[in-house]
Amino acid sequence: MIDQHGGNIDVARARHGGDGWIDLSTGINRRAYPIPPIPAEAWTMLPTAAAKAGLGQAAAQAYATTAAIVALPGAQAAIQLLPHLRPRGIARLLGPTYQDYGRVLRAAGWRVEQVADPAALVGADLALVVNPNNPDGRHHDPADLLALVGQVGLLVVDESFADAVPHLSLAPQAGRDGLLVLRSFGKFYGLAGVRLGFALGAAPLIEHLSALAGPWPVSGAAIAIGCVALADAAWTAATIARLAQEAPRLDALAIGAGWSVVGGTALFRLYHTPDAAAAQERLARHAIWSRRFGYSAHWLRLGLPGDRAEWARLAAAVTD
């Protein structure tokens, strides 16, 4: 089944029945950061300027940047606001990539073009690169992307899957005019329900985005959790190390099933299968949910399983 988004596990359940589904249809870490205690005031009070500044500082440290930062309810919220940041014009997306960019920009009256080569982005009013890319993991040297700044109206670099590859990140350069860097919190930390993400850029751009988002876009709980998690360098390092071992392990399972590796990131892998619909169906019979794409009859994307039991179930399912 080809959904607009991964993660809609209730749809899989309705279609295939059964309980205990393992949702590998997203790139959300299944070994989530442990939820810290949440102070009562995080629920009862409007987030204060001080709380928001504290979260911004934690994010700045985690992302190694001195650029201006605004927290939003997910990187998705930044995508929703993009069309309103500049007068309508031509948007070029390096693709195929996360489809909501095209959908959101088109709905707001932008002309949207998908290009395959970064050089073809030049001249666009808004240019979008997801680095590393979803779903194929294609990645770009930050210096090459930086060279595009000034050659497009606004360069948006979505680093939703960059936590495990900090050397790819443009966050340290995000203060440059004409550059907007987006970060996701929920994917790497496994806390997508928290709804937290960040936009990094030059101060006037971030002030504009912040004015569009309003004074209290993220919850007090998101602020409390984000402050703790983003400051936990030990957890981050351990998670990067774990993912570096487990992504090849997932590839090995897939290759054993007769699939080939298209690419991927630390959090998900993209496989070429003989028949993606059949492969998805086979996994679904084991209550494992995967992701297909409308533009390919062969591509199947899998997130990394969480605990040992999930790995065992996946191993059994792919060789069924």
Identify residues 168-227 at the interface with a copy of itself (CB under 8 A). Answer: 186, 190-195, 211-222, 225
132 binds a copy of itself per the rule CB under 8 A: no
- Helical spans, DSSP H, in the chain: 9-16, 40-44, 49-62, 75-81, 100-107, 142-146, 203-213, 220-230, 233-256, 276-285, 308-318
Its sign, for the CA torsion 234, 235, 237, 241, is positive
Q: Nearer Cβ to a copy of itself, position 29 or 133?
A: 29
102 binds a copy of itself per the rule CB under 8 A: no
Q: Nearer Cβ to a copy of itself, position 36 or 150?
A: 36
Q: Which stretch binds a copy of itself (CB under 8 A): 32-40, 260-268, 275-283, 308-316?
A: 32-40
- Torsion region of 214: left, alpha or beta (phi above 0 gives left; psi -120 to 50 gives alpha): left
Question: How far apart are alpha carbons 85 and 128 in whole angstroms?
Answer: 14
Question: How far apart are alpha carbons 314 and 287 in whole angstroms?
Answer: 10
163 binds a copy of itself per the rule CB under 8 A: no
Q: Is the peptide bond before 132 cis (omega within 30 degrees of 0)?
A: yes
Structure tokens given for 116 = 């395959």
Neighbours of 249 (CB within 10 A): 13
Structure tokens given for 104 = 């959101």
56 binds a copy of itself per the rule CB under 8 A: no
Its sign, for the CA torsion 83, 85, 89, 93, is negative
Q: Is the peptide bond before 172 cis (omega within 30 degrees of 0)?
A: no
CB of 247 to a copy of itself, least distance (A): 20
47 binds a copy of itself per the rule CB under 8 A: yes
305 binds a copy of itself per the rule CB under 8 A: no
108 CB burial (10 A radius; 0-12, 13-18, 19+): middle
Identify residues 221-280 at the interface with a copy of itself (CB under 8 A). Answer: 221-222, 225
Q: Which stretch binds a copy of itself (CB under 8 A): 79-87, 128-136, 137-145, 255-263?
A: 79-87
Q: Of these, 58, 59, 94, 104, which contacts a copy of itself (CB under 8 A)?
A: 104
CB of 10 to a copy of itself, least distance (A): 4
Q: Of these, 2, 36, 43, 256, which contacts a copy of itself (CB under 8 A)?
A: 43
1 binds a copy of itself per the rule CB under 8 A: no
Residue ranges binding a copy of itself (CB under 8 A): 4-11, 23, 26, 28, 30, 32, 35, 40-51, 73-74, 76-77, 79-80, 84, 100, 104, 107-108, 186, 190-195, 211-222, 225
